[in-house]
C-alpha cells in the first residue's frame, strides 16, 4: 500500500483538495486498497478548522466527494515513518516541513508539480482566490503521480 500525505500551509485549501482529488482518482480506478491518503499543514494556525468553503465549492463543482468532518492538522515528525510520500504544494511548504522533519534519508518529500516535470508551485488560492487554477494544478499533479498523464 502506498501511503501519501499532502502538505500545504494551513491544511484548509490545497492539501485537502489534493487528498480528495487523489482519493477520487484512485476510486475511479478501483485502487482504494492500494493507497492510503491524508493531508496536513506545516503551520498550526488552522488546526481543527474545516476545509475552507471556496475549496469545498470547487471540489463539489467538479463532482469530487470530500469528508465534511475533515479538520486541519499539523504535520508531526512521526508522519515521516507513517507515509511513503510527503507531497508539498510549494517551495515554502518544503522549507517549513524541514523544520518538522529535518532529514529525508528515504527521499519521501517531494513538490507536487515535480511529478509533472514542471518546476513551479501549485497556485495558492488563499492569495489569488483562484480555486479553479489550484484544482487544475492539483489534478495534473495527481494524474501524473498515478501515471495517467
As annotated, the active-site residues are: 8, 14, 124
Domain range enclosing 136: 2-146
Number of domains into which the chain is organized:
1
Distance CA 82, CA 98 (A): 16
H runs (alpha helix) in 8-129: 14-28, 53-61, 79-82, 91-100, 125-128
Q: What is the pLDDT of residue 148?
A: 82
Distance CA 96, CA 31 (A): 31
- Name the DSSP letter for residue 19: H
Residues in the chain where the model's pLDDT stays below 70: 149
Q: What is the pLDDT of residue 119?
A: 82
Q: What is the pLDDT of residue 149?
A: 62
Q: What is the pLDDT of residue 39?
A: 99
Q: What is the pLDDT of residue 56?
A: 98
Distance CA 148, CA 6 (A): 19
Distance CA 89, CA 73 (A): 16
Give tens-digit pLDDT for 69-84: 999 999 999 999 999 9
CATH of the domain at 58: 3.40.50.2300
37: left (phi over 0), alpha (psi -120 to 50) or beta: beta
Amino acid at each position: 500500500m502506498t501511503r501519501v500525505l499532502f502538505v500545504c500551509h494551513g491544511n484548509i485549501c490545497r492539501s485537502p483538495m489534493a487528498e480528495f482529488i487523489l482519493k477520487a482518482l484512485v476510486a475511479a480506478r478501483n485502487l482504494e486498497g492500494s493507497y492510503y491518503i491524508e493531508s496536513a499543514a506545516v503551520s498550526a494556525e488552522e488546526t481543527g478548522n474545516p476545509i475552507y468553503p471556496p475549496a469545498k465549492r470547487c471540489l463539489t463543482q467538479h463532482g469530487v466527494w470530500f469528508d465534511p468532518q475533515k479538520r486541519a492538522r499539523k504535520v508531526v515528525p512521526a508522519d515521516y515513518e507513517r507515509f511513503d510520500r510527503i507531497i508539498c504544494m510549494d517551495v515554502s511548504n518544503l522549507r517549513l516541513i524541514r523544520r518538522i522533519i529535518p532529514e529525508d534519508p528515504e527521499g519521501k518529500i517531494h513538490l507536487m508539480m515535480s511529478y509533472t516535470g514542471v518546476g513551479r508551485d501549485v497556485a495558492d488560492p488563499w492569495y489569488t482566490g483562484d480555486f479553479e487554477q489550484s484544482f487544475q494544478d492539483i489534478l495534473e499533479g495527481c494524474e501524473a503521480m498515478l501515471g495517467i498523464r
